[in-house]
Amino acid sequence: MKVLVINCGSSSLKYQVLDMTNETLLAKGLVERIGLAGSMIAHEKVGQDKFKLEVPMKDHKDAIGHVLEALLDKDHGVVANMDEIGAVGHRVVHAGEKYASSVMITEDVIKALEECTELAPLHNPPNLLGISACKELMPNTPMVGVFDTAFHQTMPPESYIYAIPYEYYEKYRIRRYGFHGTSHKYVAERAAEIIGKPFDKIKIITCHLGNGASVAAIENGKCIDTSMGFTPLEGLVMGTRSGDIDPAIVSFIAQKEGVALDDVNNVLNKKSGMMGISGISSDFRDIEKAAEEGNERAKLALKVFAHSVKFYIGGYMAEMNGADAIVFTAGVGENDIGMRDMICAEMECLGIELCANCNDIRGKEAIISTDTSKVKVLLVPTNEELMIARDTLEIVSKK
Ligand code: AMP
């Protein structure tokens, strides 16, 4: 079966078509500036050059229309007619406490996801627009929702309850949800395969370190804790997000700067993290270049980031009474040799020993710890689209 994977942002849309008979990628693409001037689609059939087309797209329905046209195109397409697409898998960020795994999208599911919009006001609305556009244009194709929050739903209450009046959890569902679940699950399953242990009998700490970053503790195949919280702002230091701070800082800044709480929220999401500390960029490559040139704030940003990851690894090892494996993934985790080295340095007391030679690698699956390291350290490139396609195939096949 061929599966179309759709990941809708507010003005962008990423897609892939995979042939799930052998899990191969057939085509992928990106639509940008939906609803804005200069909207365009960049489509790539595997083995061919990318083609780009600038064409007005007033909304997500227009965008999906152009995606389907590209998939049917006689030169760049991968299907002869739309019936060849057996199912569509949609990435949806927030499913609240409603879904602990992927589900077939029905009217009831759409209603439940609409109710979660309050919890993810920036993400769920475009995800839902993508679903309704696909339903209109492909009314007979089954659709599956794959949720960023789902994998973390196995956390025990002591991991997800905040120590604020319990009534806020009851009234508003304020709790830790966690995000990047599809990625954490994919790389943890791969890590178990690589080291040859059953996924449901292993303790793994997964470090998804990209522009957004989170760590998860996975015990016997189930997530038991994760660093992102009620929103993706909590936890690690990120590209432009602060991660953990003393909550009292929020009203203190608002008062001192004479700005509204929403403005402080914006600063914590968009002007903090690596960008905020370094004052240079949110991109680790720029920060590392500046650090090499002697910039002290760039050096400090890298140290603060490494410290925050180390802190969670140590905490999760304490929670699980050890770990069999630590996995690095996403832009920084897959490519930043120096950062992996900084994070894993001086953790021999926890049984973590990085192998300098094996760590000299980017973007490929590898074991990067020494042979004697008690805890295996791995690099596993993430593949959220494949995970979405797998879930989609599984659910559609059960129907
Ligand atoms: P992601 O959000 O997973 O796409 O990760 C994007 C981030 O990965 C970028 O902002 C960079 O900070 C980081 N990144 C990508 N390539 C490299 C590299 N070669 N070295 C260091 N950091 C990198």
- The confidence band for 324, taking pLDDT boundaries of 50, 70 and 90, is very high
Confidence (pTM): 0.95
pLDDT exceeds cutoff 80 at 399:
no
Average pLDDT over residues 325-333: 98
The pLDDT of residue 37 is: 93
Mean pLDDT of the region 3-14: 94
Flag whether pLDDT at 251 surpasses 80: yes
Torsion, Cα 15 20 22 28, to 10 degrees, reads -10
pLDDT band of 349, cuts 50, 70, 90: very high
Per-position DSSP letters for 27-93, written without gaps between them: EEEEEE-TTSTT-EEEEEETTS--EEEE----SHHHHHHHHHHHHH-TTT-S-SSGGGEEEEEEEES
Q: Which of 277, 285, 343, 385 to mutate to test the pocket of ligand 1 (most atoms within 8 A of CB)?
A: 285
Residue 233: predicted pLDDT? 95
Give the percent of the chain with pLDDT over 70. Answer: 100
The confidence band for 123, taking pLDDT boundaries of 50, 70 and 90, is confident
H-state helical runs in the chain: 60-72, 107-115, 124-137, 157-160, 166-172, 181-195, 248-257, 261-270, 273-278, 284-292, 296-320, 330-335, 337-344, 384-398
Residue nearest atom 19 in ligand 1 by C-alpha distance: 335
Q: What is the pLDDT of residues 38-89, one digit of tens each?
A: 999 999 999 999 999 999 999 999 999 999 999 999 999 999 999 999 999 9
Residues 6 or more apart whose Cβ sits within 8 Å of residue 44: 27, 28, 29, 50, 51
Residues 214/188, Cβ–Cβ less than 8 Å:
no
pLDDT at 9: 87
Q: What is the pLDDT of residue 120?
A: 86
Question: Is 336 noted as a catalytic residue in this protein?
Answer: no
Closest residue CA from atom 20 of ligand 1: 336
Mean pLDDT of the residues in the chain: 96
Across 249-275, average pLDDT: 97
87 and 396 Cβ atoms separated by less than 8 Å: yes
